Amino acid sequence: MGYLALVISLLISVALAAASYFGLKTDYQPAILAFAILTACTLILSFAFCVCLEVSRRRAQELKSESEKLLALLEHGSSAMLLLNANLEAEYINHRHPTLEKRRLEKSQNSIDMKQWEEHVGPETRLRIQEAISDRKIWRGELRFGDSEQADYLSTTISPIFDDDGKLKRIVVCCEDISKHKAIADRLFIREHYNILTGLPNRQFALRSLNTVIEKSALRSNEFILLHIDLDRIRYINESLGHHVVDKIFIETAERLRRCVRDEHILAHLGADEFLIILDKSSCHDEASILAESLLDRCRAPFYIEQHEVTISASIGLSQYPTDGNDGNTLMRRAEAAMFDAKSQGGDRFSFYDESMSSQADRRLEMENQLRHAIARDEFQLHYQPVISLRNNQLVGVEVLLRWQNDELGNPGPDEFIQVAEHSGQIIAIGNWVLEQACQQIVAWSRAGLPALSLAVNISSKQFIDGDILASVSRALNQSGLPAAQLELEITEGLLLNDTPAIRDIFKELKTLGVHLSLDDFGTGYASLSYLKRYPFDTLKIDRSFVHDIDGCEDSITLTNAIIAMAHSFGMRVIAEGVENLNQRRILRERHCDMVQGFLYSPALPAMEFVNWANRYSEMQHSKHI
Ligand code: C2E
Ligand code: CA
Ligand code: CA
């Protein structure tokens, strides 16, 4: 419209000017010309004005669309934005943003409750923010709102804007709600650093804490002690009573240990039945010994889980910073080596690390590796020790004892390698091999004319629990043809400590097969009358340490008397092992012990030598030398 009016006016003024110039000869000619020029000028000015108007209208439109875009970006973006002036009053808040809505930052108030914000920003963070602003730097960090249970976490960027004179003009605050990420990250952190079952720090976290304690102690020249706690016999409980019982034992153990340690100490659950305590702050041997003793005591107390009463014990190894190592891994390894030392002495005790233990640990590892190939490399040999009846001095049986020919390790004895094999699980294959070979040997001797001997085979508790002992025994009997009644399985009382229906069932089935059961090493541990009543043992073996004491010690004689009488009253036969002299044999015979074995007759011998010994013994008997 504006342009049309302009064009028409322009035409009129041109017409007027032309008329005044070419034809209209009037007295008013100069006036008309002046009018035309004036009109033209006005028109030009109007035109210019219109153009300006149009330009500014377009600019306004562009600005509007620009600001609409910016607003859309701000209000629908993922971040909450605040624009503050130098007095921290809000100049802009994208109040629709859920984060700010939640924080009750109403636009109507046009100011934010900085007090509310400040309350949640710790003094240290506040100081850092102030420092960043005065250094004209951007501050980036995490702000937490709400209590720890239901906290929101805002990842926040605070950017100061300064004017040309360098004065703070505005502050742009940009926040993003990272609560969900944080919750996931926290869960991941927990899963990565804590034991799910007990809620205690795990191995990885313990190692980290240990390294921090080492750093602090190095600065202050402090010493401290590390305790590695390992529960004894947990495997048996696991197999007989199940994982859920064991899990409850771990939870209860964690609680018992927690009650023993002070707040400044670190208690961790390394996994399975292993726990670790870092005695932060200077700690001495005596203090650690007292603690270890009280931890052992706590572990000894029976656990009442469901309807079971479970008794366990623990082995504890201690290493000291910096004497035993100055890095976390070494200290942990050495505490573990000390724990193994405690365990190898029967458990339920603690040991401080000493250098010999590292070589022991290396040796154990090497032994485990070598044991893997021992059967294939034909390194095992069976030795047989005669068992003699005290009634008629006849050779009635043998106990088979395993020997390992391994030059690299210096032919370790069974007391050493059986433990390693038990720990690594290799005992199952080895035990089966012993059973099969020994059964075949006895049958071969019977065929060769030797009297039918009973064969006693040592069975490790692990073979009962992890292996299928019934299948192994049946296979050995079937393959060899040895009558079941000639086979006696020697079991130590460790297996019976936790009386379980599963083990009793196996015992029953073995009895149904017809094999005999013998309770080995009686008198060394916890075995009591109640075990003897509960389990169908045919034989009780009085431990050699006990027999060792009977010549010369009245108490031992009285006790031996009682054991033999008690075993007989339960219908069991008694074998005394480790008989080394005639006096011991006399005492045992007088006390009606049924059988003996020991160096007095013969140590365990390889098969060939045993046959020679048996022939010689038989000859001596015939010539009435015995
Ligand atoms: P154990 O079952 O108590 O075996 C008796 C141990 O006493 C044998 O030691 C034997 O050599 C030793 N001994 C025999 N008579 C005397 C004596 O008069 N005086 C003394 N001081 N000792 C005597 P060895 O052969 O070193 O076996 C040690 C342990 O290793 C055995 O104790 C047994 O628990 C275990 N073991 C041996 N062979 C096997 C096996 O094939 N399987 C399993 N699971 N364990 C085995
Ligand atoms: Ca034995
Ligand atoms: Ca024994």
Q: Give the pair of three-digit tokens for residue 5.
A: 């009016």
Q: Residues 523, 492: contact at Cβ < 8 Å?
A: no
The predicted-structure confidence for 146-198, as pLDDT tens digits, reads as follows 666 667 778 888 999 999 888 898 999 888 887 777 777 777 677 778 888 89
Mean pLDDT of the chain: 86
User: For domain 80-183, is the CATH number 3.40.50.300?
Assistant: no
CATH homologous superfamily of 194-353 equals Reverse transcriptase/Diguanylate cyclase domain (3.30.70.270)
Inter-helix orientation angle 501-513/234-241, to 10°: 80
Q: At residue 104, does pLDDT exceed 60?
A: no
pLDDT at position 267 is 93
Q: Considering every ligand atom, which ligand is closest to the CA of 597?
A: 1
Average pLDDT over residues 482-502: 86
Q: State residue 529's pLDDT score.
A: 62
CA of 448 to the centre of ligand 3 (A): 29
Kindly tell me if the per-residue pLDDT of 591 is higher than 80: yes
> Which comes out higher in pLDDT, residue 156 or 394?
394
Helix (H, G, I), strand (E, B) or coil at 507: helix
Identify the pLDDT of residue 394: 95
Identify the bridge partners of residue 17 per DSSP, sorted by sequence position. none
CA 253, CA 297: separation in Å to the nearest integer?
Answer: 12
Structure tokens at 387: 């068992």
**pLDDT band, residue 96 (cuts 50/70/90):** low
Q: Give the DSSP letter of residue 302.
A: P
Cβ atoms within 10 Å of 149's Cβ, excluding its own = 5
How many angstroms separate the CA atoms of 273 and 344, rounded?
17
- The answer to whether residue 106 scores a pLDDT higher than 50 is no
The rounded percent of the chain whose pLDDT value lies above 90 is 48
Q: Torsions phi, psi of 580, nearest 5?
A: -115, -15
How far is the centre of ligand 3, averaged over its atoms, from the C-alpha of 136 (Å)?
82
**523-571 pLDDT, tens digit each:** 766 556 667 778 899 999 998 988 988 887 888 888 888 889 989 999 9
528 and 271 in contact (C-beta within 8 Å)? Answer: no
Read off the pLDDT of each residue in 62-67 and give the average, rounded to a whole number: 90
The average pLDDT across 397-414 equals 96
Evaluate the CA torsion angle 498, 501, 503, 507 in order and state its sign: positive
Q: Mean pLDDT across the stretch 191-207?
A: 87
pLDDT of residue 117: 65
Q: What is the C-alpha to C-alpha distance for residues 528 and 509, in angstroms, rounded to an integer?
A: 23
Give me the pLDDT at residue 13, please: 66
Question: Tell me, what's the pLDDT at 149?
Answer: 62
The CATH number of 383-402+434-622 is 3.20.20.450
> Would you say 595 and 568 are in contact if contact means Cβ atoms under 8 Å apart?
no
* Residues having CB within 6 Å of any atom of ligand 1: 385, 401-402, 413-415, 418, 431, 434, 458-460, 490, 520-521, 544, 577-580, 598-599, 603-604
| Residue 272 CA, ligand 2 centroid: distance in Å | 31
CA of 401 to the centre of ligand 2 (A): 8
> End-to-end distance of the chain based on CA atoms, in angstroms?
145
Q: How far apart are CA 620 and CA 614, in angstroms?
A: 10
Using alpha carbons only, give the angle 471, 444, 576 rounded to the nearest 5 degrees: 75
Q: Is 176 exposed, middle or buried, given 0-12, 13-18 or 19+ CB atoms closer than 10 A? A: middle
Alpha-helix residue ranges (DSSP H) falling in 151-267 = 179-193, 203-220, 234-241, 243-260
Ligand number nearest CA of 414 is 1
Which of 344, 434, 458, 521 for a ligand 1 pocket mutation test, highest count of atoms within 8 Å of Cβ? 458
pLDDT, tens digit (0-9, with 9 covering 90-100), for 7-48: 776 677 677 667 666 665 566 677 777 877 887 788 888 888
Q: pLDDT tens-digit profile of 254-303?
A: 999 999 888 888 999 998 899 999 997 666 888 899 999 999 999 999 99
φ, ψ for residue 42, nearest 5 deg: -60, -45
Looking at per-residue confidence, does 365 or 610 come out higher?
Answer: 610
pLDDT for res 354: 92
Kindly give, in sequence order, each residue whose CB lies less than 8 Å from that of residue 547, ignoring residues fewer than 6 positions away.
560, 576, 577, 578, 579, 584, 588, 598
The band of 435, judged by pLDDT with boundaries at 50, 70 and 90, is very high
- Position 107 scores a pLDDT of 44
What pLDDT, in 10s, does the model give residues 302-327? 999 888 888 889 999 999 999 999 89
Picking from 536, 95, 499, the residue whose alpha carbon sits closest to that of residue 302 is 499
Once rounded to an integer, what is the mean pLDDT over residues 349-373?
90
Instruction: Retrieve residue 468's tokens.
Output: 């299928």
Q: DSSP characters for 398-410?
A: EEEEEEE--TTTT
| Average pLDDT rounded to a whole number, residues 456-474 | 91
By alpha-carbon position, which residue is closest to atom 28 of ligand 1? 415
Are residues 427 and 421 in contact, defined by beta-carbon separation less than 8 angstroms?
yes
Q: What angle do CA 490, 493, 498 make, to 5 degrees?
A: 130
Asked if the model's pLDDT at residue 447 lies above 90, the reply is: yes
CA distances from 248 to 197, 295, 348, 365, 576 (A): 9, 18, 20, 31, 41
